[in-house]
């Protein structure tokens, strides 16, 4: 059985793998596994998915999401973002984010949102992809 790194490398090379490789938070840094930069690594991507704790007025000023979005925009790759909360509505215009989603809602306290972030994110991603990115 292959190690996690071997599975990821196989997937990057578009080889068939015995299971889906999962490396949390690898993002565009996956290119470093095969000695290529983020631009090269993302050149054939259909979609970039990114996240941030909060999408707000600071987002376009040096947060990681602004760099990821810049890479996507330069290569005409749509970027969707998931965040714990979204407090501004013109982020798409500032950053070029195709769509952004808050994983929380107004009826959940910030404490509950933080405590349940993993579940909230998983549920939101599942809902978004079922609704927008599958044929079901």
Q: pTM (2 decimals)?
A: 0.73
> Please, what is the end-to-end C-alpha distance for the chain in angstroms?
33
Is the pLDDT score of 35 beyond 70? Answer: yes
Per-residue pLDDT, 120? 92
Nearest partner of 55 among 122, 2, 128, 104, judged by Cα: 104
CATH code matching the domain that covers 25-103, chosen among 3.40.50.10350, 3.40.190.10, 3.40.50.300, 1.10.3720.10: 3.40.50.10350
90-128 pLDDT per residue, tens: 655 677 888 889 998 888 888 898 898 889 988 998 899
What are φ and ψ of residue 100, in 5° steps? -135, 150
Helix boundaries (H) for the chain: 4-12, 38-42, 64-74, 91-95, 110-115, 117-132
Is the pLDDT score of 31 beyond 80? Answer: no
In sequence order, what are the beta bridge partners of 86?
55
Report, as an integer, the average pLDDT of 23-46.
73
């Amino acid at each position: 059985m292959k190690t996690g790194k071997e599975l990821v490398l196989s997937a990057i090379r578009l080889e068939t793998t015995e299971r889906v490789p999962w490396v949390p938070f690898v993002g565009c840094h996956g290119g470093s596994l095969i000695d290529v930069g983020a631009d090269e690594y993302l050149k054939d991507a259909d979609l970039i998915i990114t996240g941030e704790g909060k999408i707000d007025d600071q987002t376009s000023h040096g947060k990681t999401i602004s760099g990821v979005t810049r890479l996507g925009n330069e290569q005409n790759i749509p970027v969707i973002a998931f965040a714990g909360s979204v407090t501004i509505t013109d982020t798409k215009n500032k950053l070029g984010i195709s769509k952004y989603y808050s994983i929380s809602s107004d009826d959940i306290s910030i404490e509950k949102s933080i405590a349940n972030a993993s579940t909230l994110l998983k549920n939101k991603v599942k809902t978004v992809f079922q609704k927008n990115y599958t044929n079901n």
